[in-house]
Amino acid sequence: MTTRMNTEMVTFPHPFTLSGIDGVQPAGCYRIETEEVLIESLSFVAYRRVSTSIRLPGRPGSGDLEQVVDVVPEELTAILERESRPPQR
């Protein structure tokens, strides 16, 4: 099975929350990783998403430098789209 990993840096201009993540995360740049597998039964090259994760700072007191948390891609996209809109008056 052939897999590939896509990495993207995204900037959250405001604090944010995602389901599956405890607490509010601070504004800043975060690494998003998407793992995909090759669909081998097709006559053209295509990949299927297997997982999407975000790298967060380690929990205080845990000794971990960072934590990797799986996220729902559609939820992440919705937050980023909402953040990129100009404020309404």
pLDDT digits (tens, 9 = 90+) for 37-53: 999 988 999 999 999 99
Q: Give the pLDDT of residue 88.
A: 67
Residues of the chain scoring pLDDT < 50:
none
Q: Which two tokens stand for residue 18?
A: 């995602």
Evaluate if pTM is beyond 0.85: no
**Alpha carbon distance, N-terminus to C-terminus of the chain:** 51
Q: Give the pLDDT of residue 33.
A: 97
Q: Give the pLDDT of residue 8.
A: 95
Three-point CA angle 42, 47, 50, nearest 5°: 130
Q: Give the pLDDT of residue 48.
A: 94
